[in-house]
């Protein structure tokens, strides 16, 4: 098992590095094809030709695209994220606080969403085809079908505009205490929880129902074991592998897919920084944000693969 797990990790890491390389190339090409000129955007519409040429030379924009890309890639290998083209600040400094804000938002949503989705999935499987199961299934299907930004705006209308319970803008400051931060991010956390719980709950329910059709489950039921015990002690442990995959992939979504939610609530996270940097054609910041998102997704998928092997007895003890 150790050898197979080691080979799996090495393969996933190799594919992950290849994925990151491809993503960095696509990001570079995408930003380069955006309309407008970075030098013109920095100096304004009335900048002279000499001033534009000087700032292009200073920022290295006079060099070919592939040369700039490989210089940046060499810096990344040395853990140097570069300097912002817009405000001349170190990209690592720009990203540091934003990344911590995004991780805080994603962590809050995950702490709430994961246990709720597992419990609801188990109850829906336990009371399959009941009124409770139908209501939960219909509600989660509706939530999945509604885009995140629409869920966010609905929450803003009811909980911020109509009843003024939570702020519509998720402003946070380093001076905030934990309760102030939780209050500020309440609406974006609710948005993420509603979307993620629906997906995880449905797949948890499906995984447990699939296990309930196995012969050893029927044997346990024929022995007189309660259905709740069968699900808890027999079905759930054997359904852990797909459930772990679903949870980890949704955790990756919480980190990677927060861009829309952060923009709607003007939350100072990494997604908001990415959108602002794209609009300003700040290539080093865009590349760094894209690589962080991609690295998070790759590493969480690798984690899901490893945990699935550890949770699956047939993979732990191959015959």
User: pTM of this prediction?
Assistant: 0.81
Rg (the chain; Cα; Å):
24
User: What percent of the chain clears pLDDT 90, i.e. is strictly above it?
Assistant: 10
pLDDT-derived band at 313, boundaries 50, 70, 90 = low
Q: Determine the longest span between alpha carbons in the chain, in angstroms.
A: 87
Phi, psi dihedrals of residue 165, rounded to the nearest 5°: -90, -45
pLDDT tens-digit map of 273-282: 888 888 777 8
Q: What is the pLDDT of residue 314?
A: 58
Element (H, E) at 197: helix 186-212
Higher pLDDT, 308 or 266: 266
What pLDDT, on a 0 to 100 scale, did the predictor assign at position 317?
Answer: 52
Q: Given phi > 0 = left and psi -120 to 50 = alpha, else beta, which region is 166?
A: beta
What pLDDT, on a 0 to 100 scale, did the predictor assign at position 112?
Answer: 93
The H-or-E segment that residue 234 falls in is none
Q: Tell me: pLDDT of 116 over 70.
A: yes
What's 267's DSSP letter?
-
Spatial separation of the C-alpha atoms in residues 67 and 73, rounded to whole Å: 10
Q: In the chain, which ranges are continuous DSSP H helix?
A: 2-32, 38-43, 49-59, 65-77, 91-126, 131-145, 148-156, 178-184, 186-212, 215-222, 227-230, 236-238, 240-256, 259-264, 270-279, 283-311, 313-316
Return the SS3 of 253. helix
Angle subtended at Cα 297 by Cα 295 and Cα 302, rounded to the nearest 5 degrees: 95
Average pLDDT value over all residues in the chain: 82
Report the DSSP beta bridge partners of residue 90: 83
Q: What are residue 83's DSSP bridge partners?
A: 90
Domain ranges of the chain: 37-80, 91-316
Handedness of CA 241, 243, 246, 247 (dihedral sign): negative
pLDDT band for 111, please (50, 70, 90 cuts). Answer: very high
Average pLDDT, integer, range 267-292: 85
Contacts of 77 (CB under 8 A, 6+ apart): none
What value does the mean pLDDT take over residues 61-90? 81
Which superfamily, per CATH, for 91-316? MetI-like (1.10.3720.10)
Q: Report d(CA 279, CA 41) in Å as an integer.
A: 10
Residue 140 has a pLDDT of: 85
The predicted model gives 235-245 an average pLDDT of 75
With H, G, I as helix, E, B as strand and everything else as coil, classify residue 96: helix
Q: Residues 280, 265: contact at Cβ < 8 Å?
A: no
């Amino acid at each position: 098992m150790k050898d197979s797990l080691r080979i799996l990790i090495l393969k996933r890491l190799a594919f992950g590095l290849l994925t990151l390389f491809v993503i960095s190339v696509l990001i570079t090409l995408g930003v380069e094809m955006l309309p407008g000129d970075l030098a013109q955007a920095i100096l304004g519409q009335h900048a002279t030709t000499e001033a534009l040429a000087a700032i292009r030379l200073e920022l290295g924009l006079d060099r070919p695209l592939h040369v700039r890309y490989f210089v940046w890639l060499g810096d990344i290998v040395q853990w140097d994220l570069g300097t912002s083209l817009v405000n001349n600040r170190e990209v690592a400094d720009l990203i540091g606080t934003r990344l911590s804000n995004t991780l805080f938002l994603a962590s809050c949503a995950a702490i709430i969403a994961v246990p709720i989705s597992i419990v609801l999935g188990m109850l829906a499987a336990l009371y399959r085809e009941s009124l409770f199961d139908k209501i939960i299934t219909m509600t989660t299907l509706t939530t999945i079908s509604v885009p995140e930004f629409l869920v966010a705006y609905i929450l803003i209308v009811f909980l911020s505009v109509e009843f003024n319970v939570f702020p519509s803008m998720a402003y946070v400051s380093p001076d905030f205490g934990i309760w102030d931060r939780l209050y500020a991010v309440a609406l974006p956390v609710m948005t993420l929880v509603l979307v993620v719980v629906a997906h995880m709950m449905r797949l948890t329910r499906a995984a447990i129902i699939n296990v309930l059709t196995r012969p050893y489950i029927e044997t346990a039921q024929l022995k007189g074991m309660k259905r709740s015990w069968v699900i808890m002690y027999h079905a759930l442990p054997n359904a852990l592998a797909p459930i772990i995959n679903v949870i980890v992939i949704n955790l990756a979504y919480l980190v990677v897919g927060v861009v829309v939610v952060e923009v709607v609530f003007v939350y100072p996270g990494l997604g908001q920084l990415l959108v602002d940097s794209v609009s300003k054609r700040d290539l080093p910041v865009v590349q760094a944000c894209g690589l962080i998102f991609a690295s998070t997704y790759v590493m969480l998928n690798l984690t899901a693969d490893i945990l699935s092997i550890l949770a699956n007895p047939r993979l732990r003890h191959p015959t």
